[in-house]
Structure 1
Amino acid sequence: MTLFDGITARLIDTPRLTVNILEREGDDAATPPERTVVFIHGNGSSSLFWQEVMQDLPHDLRVIAIDLRGYGGTEHSPIDATRGVRDFSDDVAATMEALALPTAHFVGWSMGGGVVMQYALEHPVLSLTLQSPVSPYGFGGTRRDGSRLTDDDAGTGGGAANPDFVERLTANDTSDEAPTSPRNVFRSGYVAAGYTSEHEDVWVESINSTSTATGNYPGDSVPSENWPGFAPGRVGVLNTMAPKYFDTSGIVDLDPKPPVLWIHGNDDAIVSDGSFYDYNHLGALGIVPGWPGADIAPAQEMVSQTRDVLGEYAARGGEVTEIALDGVGHTAHLERPAEFRHELLRIIGYVGPSADPAPPTEAIIIRSAD
């Protein structure tokens, strides 16, 4: 595990499993929850992706990044997908209890956004920062209003993974010899064109920490009579986000409602209204043959669904800020770190010597109860 200066790792034993977390040297364990930030990564990543942000945040905060099960240094326990992402959120709850943290500010990226939304449905949180989150209705297989396209969620779940990518994960491939190598998937899917980083090897290391053991990534599938011929199974990562198992739209009913920051890139290839990881969108493009048409298998409008749900959250009294960044892909915290830091500090209500003096230059869309 490649750790940046000032970042440390340790294992936390919980009644559920052993969890790896990253912390900063010198952070005070007695820091109150109001100044504690917990980072949750997404699919195909780990806590390593948060290290630059952790380094850059003010040192009167306590920051913690958690590896989900099957990623990074956390135990590779199997995932019961019929619970949606609750295996993940329950692991986070067990880790918080082991750390004697009753609550904190939570940051969730991609699938991790779904995990922190699920966590917030069951536990108190001080704020939610959602970076390019999975739609509140899951990944794939739904119309704009969240209604499911088929009874078996055809085209979603474990069967949607690229087999060659899975093989390369298993082999810890660090090359750029194929479009499906983890390095090239990072370049084409995680970030927008033109992004470069001296730490790319670390980001690839993080992707390759994904466990492909049975019950982890990607998960099983079953045959379907509906196009494209497969449906989600019952175990593994991708099945947790199938719409029959995953629905966090109930956050609109939270009481009290923590403030929400939604930050995302307008050039996101993974989470968008035309995702290149959505089988129905790929069918519409002719990449997957036999597509039955938009009436039967429309692409999921992921960003619009999130905007609708968070709009309702605001209409019911919650504070919601949306930051949409042009020229940014799936990883705003890497691609636009200054904007990400500024908005994170704002949403957690940070006041201190390291507060950012000016807002970002990008357009900001703000909705709130006011």
Structure 2
Amino acid sequence: MKVTTPRLTQHVLTVEGRTAGEPVLFVHGNVSSAAFWRDAMAALPDGYRLLAVDLRGFGETDPAPVDATRGLRDYSDDVIELVEALGLDRVHLVGWSLGGGIVLQVLRDHPEAVRSVTLVNPISPYGFGGTEGPDGRLTHPDGTGSGAGAANPDFVTRLQAGDLSDESPTSPRSVFRSAYVDHRPIPDEDFYVRAMLTTRVGDAHYPGDAATSAAWPGVAPGKTGVLNACAPTHFRLGDLHEIGPRPPILWIRGADDVIVSDTSLFDLAHLGALGLVPGSPGTPAQPMVSQTRAVLARYGAYREVVLDECGHSPHLEHPEQFQRLLAEHLREA
């Protein structure tokens, strides 16, 4: 269905016949869409109203530009407007990867609207790239090492071209196989790859406008687009513990995630340490998981579950275990 709010028209995926009960709103990750939640939604028990939103610039939602200087608030404000437009009362939020950061921003700004939060391999509360240590301190004041300039240009080109092949390690299908899932065959792979290809490409969306830096590795956050919105100069949630009320958080993550990790293969600092990006001065990798754990430890009301033999997408790789954990969390909340 389509829902028009003052900001934009959003496409929302629903489950037929599930129009009553406590609302559960699913928020997808980067380079994907609400379609990634299709099976997880349908498998939840009765008693919930199930919705998954396409974020701006993804799926069938309006491609409104992203002001990265607001961090993830363009996305989180869209989500809270959707909640208000649908008249949802205290919603359960489920966020994967980028969506994890977005639902935490909703929680930070509107805790009274949230019944529970489930984080699925979320980005760090200190963004993606350009920070060190569990406290998320900036490696350089300008956020060097993060932002749109860190994107692989061949992947961006293939994404824009709608490449469905597996001829290159940087094709969307190859990235899905090697990074979204832990080299695990996934039913309906073509369905998910096509959902990746709904991503709008450009300065206003993915990856965003690139900026340069005098410091290694020579890239810094720009002002528009999704990767810049994730930059630690724009997005920081180290004060999450200061909100009230504090609804319960379930954090589910795959042990073998190569995207969100303390040694992420998508982090330029770690790639420099591996010798894959030349000229590294020894900048340490961003400890993404450790940063999330530190922020949630201060928050207090959380539980962490690590799934073995699982990459970035527990809801696709271990659907039965994921659905059981989510259903238990919703029921307890």
Relative to the length of structure 2, the TM-score reads: 0.97
Correspondence 1:132 to 2:121:
yes
Q: Secondary structure at the match of 1:249?
A: coil
Aligned equivalent of 2:96: 109
Say which of 5, 20, 24 aligns to 2:15.
24
- After TM superposition, list the pairs within 5 Å mapping 1:140-155 onto structure 2: 140-144=129-133, 145-155=135-145
Correspondence 1:261 to 2:243:
no
Distance 2:203 2:144 in 1: 21
Distance 1:152 1:327 in 2: 37
Distance 2:233 2:207 in 1: 17
Deviations 1:88-129 (A, max 9, x none): 000111111111113210000001000000001111200010
Aligned equivalent of 2:192: 203
How many pairs align? 330
Give 1:350 shift.
Answer: 5.8
Aligned equivalent of 1:119: 106
Aligned equivalent of 1:345: 327
Aligned equivalent of 1:188: 178
Q: Secondary structure at the match of 1:52?
A: helix
Distance 1:87 1:220 in 2: 16
Q: Which runs of 5+ in 1 are unaligned?
A: 1-9, 352-370
Give 1:222 shift.
Answer: 1.5
Preserved CA contact (<8 Å) 2:132 2:286: yes
Preserved CA contact (<8 Å) 2:262 2:289: yes
Correspondence 1:75 to 2:62:
yes
Aligned equivalent of 2:228: 239
Distance 1:159 1:103 in 2: 38
Q: Secondary structure at the match of 2:131?
A: coil
Aligned equivalent of 1:13: 4
Q: Secondary structure at the match of 1:323?
A: strand
- After TM superposition, list the pairs within 5 Å mapping 1:34-45 onto structure 2: 35-45=22-32
Identity within the alignment, %: 52
Aligned residue type for 1:222: A
Preserved CA contact (<8 Å) 2:68 2:226: yes
Q: Secondary structure at the match of 1:92?
A: helix
Distance 2:320 2:186 in 1: 15
Preserved CA contact (<8 Å) 2:28 2:99: yes
Distance 2:179 2:186 in 1: 15
Aligned residue type for 2:69: T
Aligned equivalent of 2:314: 332
Aligned equivalent of 2:156: 166
Say which of 144, 166, 169 aligns to 1:176.
166
Aligned residue type for 1:165: F
Task: Tell which deviates more after alignment, 342-351 or 42-51.
Answer: 342-351
Give 1:213 shift.
Answer: 3.2
Q: Secondary structure at the match of 1:347?
A: helix
Of structures 1 and 2, the larger Rg is shown by 1
Give 1:345 shift.
Answer: 1.3
Two-structure CA RMSD over aligned residues (Å): 1.1
Preserved CA contact (<8 Å) 2:202 2:208: no
Relative to the length of structure 1, the TM-score reads: 0.87
Deviations 1:139-191 (A, max 9, x none): 11111121101011111100011111111111111110101100000001111
Give the ranges of 4+ consecutive aligned residues of structure 1 lying more than 3 Å apart after TM superposition: none
Distance 1:25 1:212 in 2: 31
Correspondence 1:304 to 2:294:
no
Give 1:50 shift.
Answer: 0.3
Aligned residue type for 2:103: V
Give 1:221 shift.
Answer: 1.7
Give 1:214 shift.
Answer: 3.1
Distance 1:189 1:142 in 2: 22
Q: Which runs of 5+ in 2 are unaligned?
A: none
Q: Secondary structure at the match of 1:338?
A: helix
Aligned equivalent of 1:157: 147
